[in-house]
Amino acid sequence: MTGKIEARLAELGITLPDAPKPAANYVPFVRSGGHVFVSGQISQGPDGVLIKGRLGADLAVAEGVAAARRCGLALIAQVRAACGGDLDRIVRLVKLVGFVNSTPDFTDQPEVINGCSDLMVEVFGEAGRHARSAVSAASLPRGVAVEIEAIFEVL
């Protein structure tokens, strides 16, 4: 039987990617008590190609928003793996921390990270509302546009 969250994803026409493998010496998530801490997920398209560039130079805000949404899909895929494939074990999204590869004068980091925040509310409803930070970075791994990490409360 399909769970409530999987049904919601289908209703939204969203297919989750496979949970990305770590790119270095770390684990993709850690479960501690009732929380899952998901390592930073970098922006990559559905074809696996990295979404690279700097906001304020190479990319427009709308492209950053799309990159942040892709990070959000990877976060959901990781927490699904942490919960044994059962997204209905998610109680709520507690916090997101978003990093935007941007020029020194770029100030729309919150709008970029909304790409992920909006996705979480679309998928999880009120349980997707969360605390958040959205900060600029001079560069990000592999030159990606966005990286986002998350903390979920789970059963």
Grade residue 34 by pLDDT with cuts at 50, 70 and 90. very high
Q: Which residue has the tokens 């770390």?
A: 26
The CA–CA distances, whole Å, from 138 to 53, 70, 116, 141, 149 equal 11, 21, 20, 11, 18
pTM comes to 0.97
Task: Spell out the domains of the chain, with CATH numbers in brackets.
Answer: 27-154 (3.30.1330.40)
SS3 56: coil
pLDDT digits (tens, 9 = 90+) for 41-62: 999 999 999 999 999 999 999 9
pLDDT at 2 exceeding the cut of 90: no
* Residue type (1 letter), 50: L
pLDDT digits (tens, 9 = 90+) for 120-132: 999 999 999 999 9
* Of 1-5, 43-47, 95-99, the least confident: 1-5
Tell me what the pLDDT averaged over the chain comes to. Answer: 97
